[in-house]
Amino acid sequence: EIQSESSQGKSFSFSLVCKPSISTSFPLSISLLNVCDFLCSQTDLTVLKLAALESNKNLDLEKKEGRIDDLLRANCDLRRQIDEQQKLLEKYKERLNKCITMSKKLLIEKSTQEKQACREKSMQDRLRLGHFTTVRHGASFTEQWTDGYAFQNLVKQQESINQQREDIERQRKLLAKRKPPSASNSQTPNANSEPKQRKTKAVNGAENDPFLKPTEYHEQEEIFKLRLGHLKKEEAEIQAELERLERVRNLHIRELKRINNEDSSQFKDHPTLNERYLLLHLLGRGGFSEVYKAFDLIEQRYAAVKIHQLNKNWREEKKENYHKHACREYRIHKQLDHPRIVKLYDYFSLDTDTFCTVLEYCEGNDLDFYLKQHKLMSEKEARSIVMQIVNALRYLNEIKPPIIHYDLKPGNILLVDGTACGEIKITDFGLSKIMDDDNYGVDGMDLTSQGAGTYWYLPPECFVVGKEPPKISNKVDVWSVGVIFFQCLYGRKVTLPLPVSSPTDNLHWLPK
């Protein structure tokens, strides 16, 4: 039995009964001392301390329980807010889907009305401007253009003017035969001839005189000159009207071809591609692609969707090469960001033989169509266009790695508003070359695609024939800009000699 007294006067007693075993391997007195030391060390916790610890523990538990209750309430509030926001989000999604559906409906209705109006106008212009007729030549059929009544009326007016001019010229010749003698001859008549003239007048009479009086002759001559001047003015007006009608006829022919291509397209019924792009109407058709004006339902903007359709009869190798070429163009074009370059927005596939690229939409036509309509432009307008092209080329040369466009021509320069006094954008990077360190050296890079591009706008070094492929650099685009500048100013293309074996053979060429 062990008794102990605490510091507050309270005593504690413990009883310890030890029954030593025979197998005890240590002294009993040492074990008892150790137990006593242990019991004495546990007597530092008093009842008050235990009560305080218990009270603190209860407070901590209450705080934790309160915190848990607060968190649970906050969690419930957040869940309630999430549910409300989720319901609101679903409501907004439903509204957005309704708005998109209504937008699609309105866009389709507008596009349908525009298509109908275009076809009605085209039918009206068929009689006025002309139309294509199918003509049989042996076993084959060809389309032949027939002018409308507007051109036929101008032709009749021109024929009438020509007939009147011939009549006036014939009358002037007759008038010249009756031209009176000159004043000098009449003032100094010969003495022998005067009696003969009097005798002739007396015999034949004044009404049979082959010569007119000077006043009558000059009056008639002045009338003929005025009539010829008036006919010349009418002819100039007819020529101006004919040129205007030819420009309108070019638009009419282009619209006829576009309508024919649109009616034969499988995408004519306003499909939505990639659940995003609503096709409105056809802009144009190329060799293996169609370009549609579309509306991006996500970004709410117009776009140009270029649909590439591979020929199903092609070999798989050729299809793979075409697709590889298109992917290469997409990778080059996607990284370009410049105000004078058409932006590439997206790229996706429809099936194994059809894929699409989404481009920035420009309302106007290209420079090639403008030059066909107006032949040429003023120096200020041409300079503005060339400055913008050079600005884009400088950007292509400053990026890393630099890029050669290689197919600069009026058909790849878009006029944003359709006029020569506005902004331009460069497009079509299908033949572009990347001047990376692996392919580009001091002398330039090898031209591995010789024969591609547009003949009129390529420099002489692209046509060099030899054992080694020709070397090119970004100067190819500089040459193209010069040719475009020349065509804008003079209304005709620059002609080059045939392919040569050395670039120095082309140093003395002259434009024709």
Catalytic (active site) residue 346: no
263, with CB counted inside 10 A (0-12, 13-18, 19+), is exposed
Query: Measuring CA to CA, how many Å separate 277 from each of 258, 293, 375?
Result: 21, 10, 37
Query: Measuring CA to CA, how many Å separate 105 from each of 75, 110, 481, 484?
Result: 44, 9, 44, 43
Q: How many CA atoms lie within 13 Å of 53's alpha carbon, on the beta-carbon side?
A: 6
Q: Is 405 helix (H, G, I), strand (E, B) or coil?
A: coil
Measured between alpha carbons, how far is 227 from 168 in angstroms, rounded to an integer? 8
C-alpha torsion angle, residues 138, 144, 150, 155 (rounded to 10) = -60
How would you classify residue 461: left for phi > 0, otherwise alpha for psi between -120 and 50, otherwise beta? Answer: alpha
Q: How many CA atoms lie within 13 Å of 101's alpha carbon, on the beta-carbon side?
A: 6
Determine the residue type at 240: A
Of the candidates 125, 407, 428, 477, the residue annotated as catalytic is 407
**Cis amide prior to 189 (ω within 30 degrees):** no
Strand partners, 55: none
Residue by residue, DSSP assigns 186-203 as HHS--TTHHHHHHHHHHH
Among 371, 368, 444, which Cα is nearest to 413's? Answer: 368
The 3-state secondary structure of 295-362 reads: EECCCCEEEEEEEEECCCCCCHHHHHHHHHHHHHHHHHHHCCCCCCECCEEEEEEEECCEEEEEEECC
Cβ–Cβ under 8 Å, residues 133 and 146: yes
Residue 268 known to bind ligand: no
Neighbours of 485 (CB within 10 A): 18
Residues marked as binding for ATP?
A: 306
Which residues are known catalytic residues?
Answer: 407
Binding site per annotation, positions: 306
